[in-house]
C-alpha cells in the first residue's frame, strides 16, 4: 500500500493535491461534479477587502499549451465570502480550506487576513503578493524582498494560522524574496504565480486582452515552475506549495522531487474539471511504477 499523506505547515493532508486559487471558485461548483473531499484541500478564489468587479473584457486569450487571463481578482469581498460563500462550502467540504488573500496596501492584507483567520473552516492563509502596491507606485509587493517581508510581518501580527506567501516568477531572484518572507515569519511559500504574457489579434492588429497583458499559465510553464521550486527549496527551510503547469500524476511527483510538499493544479481544472480527482486516482499507480512507497519521502529528492 502506498502512502499519499503529507503534512503542510503542521496540518495533515490525505494527499498533496490542491486545486489552485482562481480555478476552483469556492468549491461548491465542483462539488456538483464529484465529491471534493477526495482532495488534500483547495485554495479558494482570491479574496480582497472590498468587492471587485474585475477587469474589462475580453479577459482570456488562448495560446498553445496554455492560456492568458486578466480577470482582475473579481470577488464579492471578504465580508460576503465569510457570510455567504463559506457556509455554502461547509455543506460539501468537511476539511480545512486554504484562503487566498490579495490586497493593494499593507492594511488591506492585514484586514482581510485577520477576518479570515477567525473562520474555523480556514486552515491556511495563502497571501498573494503579486498585486500592485497602490501606495508604492503600482509595483507588485512580490517584486522586492523588503515589500514581501513587510506584507508577511503585517499578516503574521494579526493571525494565528499558517501563512503561506505566494510569489510571482516575474522577478530576477525568486529565492531571495522567499528567504525574506521566511525571515519575516512566513510558515510556507507558494510558487509560482502566473508569468506575464500577451497575444495580438492579427485581424485587429491589437492585443487580444483588454488589459493588454495577463497571467500566462498552463502546461507550457511547468519547466519554469520546477526551476523556481528547486531554487527556493535550496534557500529556505519552510514548506513549499509548488504549482505551474501541473496536469498529471507524473508532474506532481516531479514537482515534489524538486522540493514541493504539496502541489496545486490551476489551468488544467479549466480544461478538465475532473483533473484533480483523476490525478489522485492515478498517483498510486505512478508511485508503484517509480518504486515510491511514501510521497513525504520524496520531497526534495532531486537535490
Can you give the pTM of this predicted structure? 0.97
Task: Give the start-to-end residue ranges of the domains of the chain.
Answer: 6-298
Q: Give the model confidence (pLDDT) of 56-101 as tens digits.
A: 999 999 999 999 999 989 999 999 999 999 999 999 999 999 999 9
- Please identify every residue annotated as catalytic: 131
**H runs (alpha helix) in the chain:** 28-31, 78-80, 86-90, 106-117, 145-156, 174-183, 222-235, 249-258, 268-271, 275-289
Q: What residues are paired with 206 via a beta bridge?
A: 201
User: 38 vs 19, 32, 93, CA distance in Å?
Assistant: 12, 14, 9
Q: Please state, in angstroms and rounded to a whole number, the distance separating the CA atoms of residues 134 and 97.
A: 29
Q: Give the model confidence (pLDDT) of 124-151 as tens digits.
A: 999 999 877 777 776 789 999 999 999 9
> What integer pLDDT is reported at residue 243 of this predicted model?
98
Q: Which CATH number is 6-298 given?
A: 3.20.20.70
Q: Please state, in angstroms and rounded to a whole number, the distance separating the CA atoms of residues 45 and 27.
A: 9
Q: What is the pLDDT along the chain (303 residues), one digit of tens a residue?
A: 999 999 999 999 999 999 999 999 999 999 999 999 999 999 999 999 999 998 999 999 999 999 999 998 999 999 999 999 999 999 999 999 999 999 999 999 999 999 999 999 999 999 999 877 777 776 789 999 999 999 999 999 999 999 999 999 999 999 999 999 999 999 999 999 999 999 999 999 999 999 999 999 999 999 999 999 999 999 999 999 999 999 999 999 999 999 999 999 999 999 999 999 999 999 999 999 999 999 999 999 999
Amino acid at each position: 500500500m502506498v502512502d499519499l499523506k503529507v503534512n503542510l505547515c503542521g496540518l495533515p493532508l490525505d494527499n498533496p493535491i490542491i486545486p489552485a486559487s482562481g480555478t476552483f471558485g469556492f468549491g461548491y461548483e465542483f462539488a456538483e461534479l464529484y465529491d471534493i473531499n477526495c482532495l488534500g484541500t483547495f485554495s479558494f478564489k482570491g479574496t480582497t477587502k472590498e468587492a471587485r468587479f474585475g477587469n474589462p473584457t475580453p479577459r482570456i486569450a488562448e495560446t498553445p499549451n496554455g492560456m492568458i487571463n486578466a480577470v482582475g481578482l473579481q470577488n464579492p469581498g471578504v465580508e460576503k465570502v465569510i457570510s455567504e460563500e463559506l457556509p455554502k462550502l461547509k455543506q460539501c467540504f468537511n476539511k480545512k480550506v486554504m484562503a487566498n488573500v490579495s490586497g493593494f496596501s499593507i492594511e488591506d492584507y492585514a484586514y482581510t487576513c485577520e477576518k479570515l483567520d477567525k473562520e474555523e473552516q480556514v486552515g491556511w492563509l495563502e497571501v498573494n503578493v503579486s498585486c500592485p502596491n497602490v501606495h508604492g507606485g503600482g509595483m507588485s509587493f512580490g517584486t522586492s524582498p523588503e515589500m514581501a517581508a513587510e506584507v508577511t510581518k503585517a499578516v503574521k501580527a494579526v493571525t494565528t494560522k499558517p501563512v503561506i506567501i505566494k510569489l510571482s516568477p516575474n522577478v530576477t531572484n525568486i529565492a531571495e524574496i522567499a528567504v525574506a518572507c521566511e525571515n519575516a515569519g512566513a510558515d510556507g511559500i507558494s510558487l509560482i504565480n502566473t508569468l506575464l504574457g500577451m497575444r495580438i489579434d492579427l485581424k485587429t492588429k491589437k492585443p487580444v486582452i483588454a488589459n493588454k497583458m495577463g497571467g500566462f499559465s498552463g502546461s507550457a510553464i511547468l519547466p519554469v515552475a520546477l526551476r523556481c521550486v528547486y531554487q527556493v527549496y535550496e534557500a529556505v527551510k519552510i514548506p513549499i506549495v509548488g504549482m505551474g503547469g501541473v496536469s498529471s500524476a507524473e508532474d506532481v511527483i516531479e514537482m515534489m522531487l524538486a522540493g514541493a510538499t504539496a502541489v496545486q493544479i490551476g489551468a488544467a481544472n479549466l480544461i478538465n474539471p475532473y483533473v484533480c480527482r483523476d490525478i489522485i486516482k492515478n498517483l498510486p499507480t505512478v508511485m508503484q511504477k517509480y518504486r515510491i512507497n511514501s510521497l513525504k519521502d520524496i520531497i526534495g529528492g532531486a537535490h
